[in-house]
Structure formats: structure tokens, C-alpha cells
Amino acid sequence: MSSTPQDATYIHGTSPEEQRRLSILNGFINDGSLRELGLRGGERILDVGCGLAQLTRAMAHAAGPEGRVVGVEKDPDQLAEAKRQAAEKNEGQLVELREGDAYTLPLSEQEWGTFDVAHTRFVLEHVSDPLRVVSGMVRAVRPGGRIVLEDDDHDVLQLHPEPPGFRALWDAYIRTYERLDNDPYVGRRLVSLLYEAGAKPVRNTWIFFGSCAGQPTFDAVVNNTLSILRGARETILLQSLLDAADFDETLMHFAAWGRRPDAAFWFSICWAEGVRPV
């Protein structure tokens, strides 16, 4: 979930707190990703920026014993935690985890052009050259193979009733991406990136990532957002995108909003799929 090339900055970091956030997040979005992937068994899969590899292992279960799954992750802390979690579940042999960069995938000469599926999620928003990443994924799959991109368009988020100050805080968070030469709106570009990388786009859709008061997932969605914003506080303040008093007051309003009986959180992950021409 966070294979960041040399020139990229992953704003969320890789602290134990961030790894816990990612683990919880995986718990309620992975089913949607697996549903859209529609694996039938036996696929050779490359997961670029696999992070903690929870989705990667789920793909391996879906691909079955005839399949093969390789996960690539740049950050050694994420990779170590991915391996620890896999071992804890007695799934250490389920996937092959490799340390490597999304720009220069760690594949042997014999592996290029052999995968049935190349997948990435929440990586393109954190790199300055997403086309280079997608181009490598197209090269990695066989002719007719699938390239699947999942990522954010942060402009999609809507809260209702909106907490005081939240739009200004969310806009400041979005601007941290731009200051780091990353793209907070890359989700809307996924189909274009597939086409520019030489793939034939065949499908786009949304994976709903939201909730409302009364749903079992609502507290987790609110806490995920709180964690993201708290983690970005230092960057937002250092870049003078918001002052400390406004940041802290807005976060307090958002936490209180999360206890409203009529609160609704609307967000969707952008999904696009292409195939390598035969």
C-alpha cells in the first residue's frame, strides 16, 4: 500500500500507529477490491506497493494453489511487518514478498511479460511520475493480461452535516500532496494513465469507502480519518497551510461530529482496469 520510489514522500509514514491504521483500513476495504478483481483461480499476480500485504495474501487465497502472487514493497518497516503478520497467520509461504521500487520493479528478465494481473492501490497518489509506474506494470503482464489501478481522488469526500472548519482542513491536507509533488486527484486520471502507458482501458468503477452513524464500520471510518489528519498535522503546520489553533479546533469538531446520530461520510476509491494489447 505504500511502495514509494526514491523521489516520493509518503506523508503518512510507517510508524506502528500508521501500521495499525492500515491494518484496520484493510479490514473493511479489501472485500470490495477482491470483488472487483474477480479472480477465478490460477492467476499469476503482481501487487505493486503491497504495504502490509493483507490484500496480497487475500489475492493468493483467491488465486488458489495453482496461482502465484508476488508483492513488491519499498519500505523495509512495512515489509518486515507484512512478513510478521503473514507468519502470525501461518501464511508465510502464501506470497513472495520482495523489497523493491515501484519505478524499477524487482523482476528477473524471465518474469517480465508473464503475469496475468498487475495491481496497485494507494500508490500512484504518492509518486511524482505515476505514468512510469503504470508503464512498468503494463510491461510486467502478458499480452492480454490485466492492469488494475485503485487510488484516491480526494475531492470526492463529502461529509454531512459538515463539521465547522472541515473543508479548510481537508483542503490543507490535499495541498500537502501538491507541495510534495504528488497528485491528490490521481483517481480521476487512472483511465488516462492506462491508455498513456500502452494498455487498453476496459472498465472503471467505484469502490464505496464510506459509512454513516448506525453502521458497524462508522467508528472505524471516522477514526481512520482522524488518524490521517493527525499524522499530517506537522506537515500542514510546517507548510503554513493552516495554523495550529484552527487545526486543533477543527479536529475537535470532527471528532464530535463522529458522535452525531445523523452523520454521513461519503467517499469512494477510484478503480480502473486495462489490458495489455495482444
Instruction: Give 121-160 pLDDT, tens digit per residue.
Output: 999 999 999 999 999 999 999 999 999 999 999 999 999 9
Identify the pLDDT of residue 12.
Answer: 57
Identify the pLDDT of residue 50.
Answer: 95
Q: Is 159 within 8 Å of 257 (Cβ atoms)?
A: yes
Identify the pLDDT of residue 21.
Answer: 75
Identify the pLDDT of residue 13.
Answer: 55
Tell me, what amino acid is at 49? Answer: G
Tell me, what amino acid is at 47? Answer: D
10-residue mean pLDDT profile of the chain (278 residues): values are 48 65 79 96 97 95 97 93 94 96 97 98 96 98 98 98 98 94 97 98 96 94 92 93 97 98 98 98
> From CA 18, how far away is CA 237, in angstroms rounded?
20
Identify the pLDDT of residue 4.
Answer: 44
Tell me, what amino acid is at 251? Answer: L
Give, to the nearest 10 degrees, the angle between helix 16-37 and helix 54-63: 30
Identify the pLDDT of residue 274.
Answer: 98
Fold of 16-275: Rossmann fold (3.40.50)
Specify burial of residue 214 (Cβ count, 10 A radius: 0-12, 13-18, 19+). exposed
